[in-house]
A and B are shown apart, each in its own frame.
Chain A
Amino acid sequence: EVQLVESGGGLVQPGGSLRLSCAASGFSFTSYEMNWVRQAPGKGLEWVSYISSTTNTIYYADSMKGRFTISRDNAKNSLYLQMNSLRAEDTAIYYCARLRLTRGGRWFDPWGQGTLVIVSS
């Protein structure tokens, strides 16, 4: 079974740091591009970051540039998101998602269950 399991969320003070992890299983992690997506309370889905299978290409949403760093360890089948200088508005459920590709399309499937990050003093 293809599965993604996030961990590392929790309560952190404004200005603090947190590292999220996403453990992949049931598929060849090395072959897939990956993403982080978040959903703040009462808000919609927001794409956070993308990383290619070989880490050669990385993208961030503008509001995350310079504060968040995406990485992966293909030997450990794991995806990471290092979050620094956290703000209250970063409070959200963070999901990892695998990127699927076809001619004329790219989509996220599956998604993990998410890990909750709360930024508060």
Chain B
Amino acid sequence: DIQMTQSPSSLSASVGDNVTITCRASQSISTYLNWYQYKAGKAPKVLIYAASSLQSGVPSRFSGSGSGTDFTLTISSLQPEDFATYYCQQSFRTFSFGGGTKVEIK
């Protein structure tokens, strides 16, 4: 099984800050890496697929990069609606998620 390690597990930030979340795979997964936003009581929402492709309708302040084993999600100029939990997911071999990163208001 492919293990996904996300860091940090939580962070505090202010509106307008730039935020970076990292995800590491236990083996190479090429670009089969996705990022999701999760808010309690709502369906998870894909932000970035195939490591760096922005899902239609997602604000351009979200961006993703990386390939192989190391990946990054960047939120530029954090907005109030961005406070949520973010998960990476590998889809190279079946599927697995990282442990999540909770982005909280400082």
Number of A-B pairs whose CB atoms are under 8 Å?
72
B94 touches A105 (CB 8 A): no
Majority secondary structure, B binding face: loop
- How many interface residues does chain B have, given as a range? 20 to 34
Whether a CB of chain A sits under 8 angstroms from the CB of B72 is no
Q: Contact check, B55 vs A108: say whether CB atoms are below 8 A apart.
A: no
Contact call B34/A45, Cβ cutoff below 8 A: no
Distance of A35 Cα from B91 Cα, bound (Å): 12
- Taken together as a complex, chains A and B put the C-alpha atoms of A108 and B97 apart, in Å, by 12
Majority SS at the chain A contact face: strand
Query: With A45-B97, A47-B96, A107-B49 as given contacts, are A112 and B31 in contact (CB-CB < 8 Å)?
Result: no
Q: A121 in the interface, Cβ–Cβ < 8 Å?
A: no
Residues of B at under 8 Å CB distance from A? Answer: 1, 30-32, 34, 36, 38, 42-46, 49-51, 53, 55, 87, 89, 91, 94-100
